[in-house]
Structure 1
């Protein structure tokens, strides 16, 4: 096993990701930010095993009183908190929106939006904050288009959806109020879509509801789940990917000279610097042997893609961004039946942003200021709140 570095571009990592108490490397005990004890799986092979093993239940982890990592986890009625047939039923309903053909058809819109933001950056430069001016607005615009959120609602939508990842010390009452406001907005949007249907995912979900395939609560929760899975994580991944390249000047210059290598580079950037360092918890429904330990029934397990993606027994030169890539798939988007549905859309956005950014700004560099990079705090995903650049 290779322990991830904690310097840039990985940024600061909490002790519970790297500290273990049982003397093993691939699986360790740790205490979550809310005080619960869990097992953290850090080996690649063990991680894949957990993510496909039906003896580990997402639904059990979402029950009231179940072991928690933080208070930003999905609700029990979310697709991401279900097992078996319930999960499969909901996943089938939305899977068509993320098919290869549907995502490929979105490429022209993503390219148009990317160029629009880069035009604005160029017009106001030299100098920019790539988070505020590109990494944050692009996924928002893409999601609004996919779901059918009116452009005039986008700012309100952004401010509200961020509460789904908020793990700050704000009062539970304040967080509940903001989550209620987001759910209320989604209900209102569903009502508007019902009166004026369009060719978007939310309208399709309303049709599924009217056919009896979704309950009203499932419809609202599905809309919120897609927001949670698609917005903050992609914002984080875009910023982290650009930062990785800006801290490796040789790779940046190589990609500028050979843009055909950007696609394999995207997979390496996803492997080395994932916005989602940990999966959601799973609870063992019976004793399960993992490596050198036995996870008892009722104990919770989390998988750490941040570690598994750098497992030296699986990936050659695990700390190096290899433009030739690796034959083995990384764990950034998970594995098994809960593998991220939006992975193709996230990949598409990262690839297009890098292709257009490097072509337009071949001399891009971190700004020569005291703190060009600021890391987000109080969020359940990794990301940047500021990325100052110059050219």
Structure 2
């Protein structure tokens, strides 16, 4: 067997921001798992086929425990110092994961999410109106795509939105390739300290928000743990705005660049939920969240992955698998998107998926109805895509009308 290819993550999409990295396409053509070597020298397996990635994510023999030996160290952070953030459900295995998820999953049922729809619509209306009445060109990242999910998750958690720049800056540092490992850890610790203070405040006076409700619920069950709630707040705050903001801005660009698809949802808004799902499949902004380590030997994707070996499910490759999604490089809001892994899959499927879907639907319907002449204010190839970030998106989205 030849030596594993040496790689660095995130792999660049510079060939085309609307397509997976060229390496993903090459790996897909191999039709089997690929062994890769990370910058640290660690060897890991990469899965690309949709069926294989989903099988791995649904298989308890693959562990989500980031502290387990062999877990992929994609960004060279290495072992973290004592006092770090307590593991969240994101990196737990059953039965601990099942228990942790049970505490909070009631906050994200479809019924609970739909109760938020009037408030989300109000937030979107206010921000779209500010765009319409403001100067041109407008930056839809700063004016719409980022503040909407940020404000929604702040209100849901009980985080003061006035401090959004603090957590957005730390979030950017944590998910970008440019900062050093120590800079990422510093940003993580600063955000942890901030949320620690918010949880302390919720403990003293639990409000009618997610943190307050969690304090009361866990105390009533005799299972309250301060650090657990800080970890939960950290996970939800980052996941609740970063990915949705980027998917929203990318979706706007994709629809503007595919006017036939945009015309379809303008003519029939009942198609917008399908457009959201296709946009989410198409870009898979959080491509590298599906990492695991084998807890025992497993045969999958034509290879035997040994216990202790790291595994990466390349999400955008799985979403561009032609066996699962014919002609995957074409944006088609009428395609059957069932089986995409942009919200992960299996026990760790994203808790906030329905909230993200609702936010994106309301943004698309409101923006495109209010501004029928919306168009890019710069040539497409001048758009500043986040090629350097582990969460793909746009730094800015200049538009006019």
Q: TM-score, normalised by structure 2?
A: 0.88
Instruction: Give the C-alpha shift of residue 380 in structure 1.
Output: 1.8
Q: 1:62 aligns with which of 28, 51, 67?
A: 67
**Match in the other structure for 2:116:** 106
**Match in the other structure for 1:43:** 49
Q: Which moved more, 1:66-75 or 1:48-57?
A: 66-75
Unpaired runs of 5+ residues, structure 2, are 1-11, 79-83
Alignment partner of 1:176 is 2:185: yes
Distance 1:34 1:239, change over 3 A: farther
**Match in the other structure for 2:18:** 10
2: distance between equivalents of 1:76 and 1:347? 29
Contact in 1 for aligned 2:173/2:179 (Cα 8 Å): no
Alignment partner of 1:243 is 2:253: yes
Deviations 1:134-165 (A, max 9, x none): 11111110110110112333333333343442
- Give runs of aligned pairs for residues 157-168 of structure 1, distance below 5 A: 157-168=167-178
**Match in the other structure for 1:376:** 386
Instruction: Give the C-alpha shift of residue 5 in structure 1.
Output: 7.9
Unpaired runs of 5+ residues, structure 1, are none
Deviations 1:202-248 (A, max 9, x none): 11222244343242211111110111222211111111111111211
- Give runs of aligned pairs for residues 40-189 of structure 1, distance below 5 A: 40-59=46-65, 61-63=66-68, 66-70=71-75, 77-170=87-180, 172=182, 174-189=183-198
Distance 1:374 1:310, change over 3 A: same
Alignment partner of 1:195 is 2:201: no
Contact in 1 for aligned 2:141/2:396 (Cα 8 Å): yes
Alignment partner of 1:346 is 2:375: no
Alignment partner of 1:31 is 2:37: yes
Contact in 1 for aligned 2:20/2:317 (Cα 8 Å): no
2: distance between equivalents of 1:106 and 1:343? 14
Alignment partner of 1:311 is 2:317: no
Contact in 1 for aligned 2:64/2:293 (Cα 8 Å): yes
Q: TM-score, normalised by structure 1?
A: 0.90
Instruction: Give the C-alpha shift of residue 390 in structure 1.
Output: 1.4
Deviations 1:51-100 (A, max 9, x none): 111111111x4336743112679966111111011111110111011111
2: distance between equivalents of 1:243 and 1:299? 39
Equivalent pairs counted in the alignment come to 384
Q: Which moved more, 1:221-230 or 1:136-145?
A: 221-230
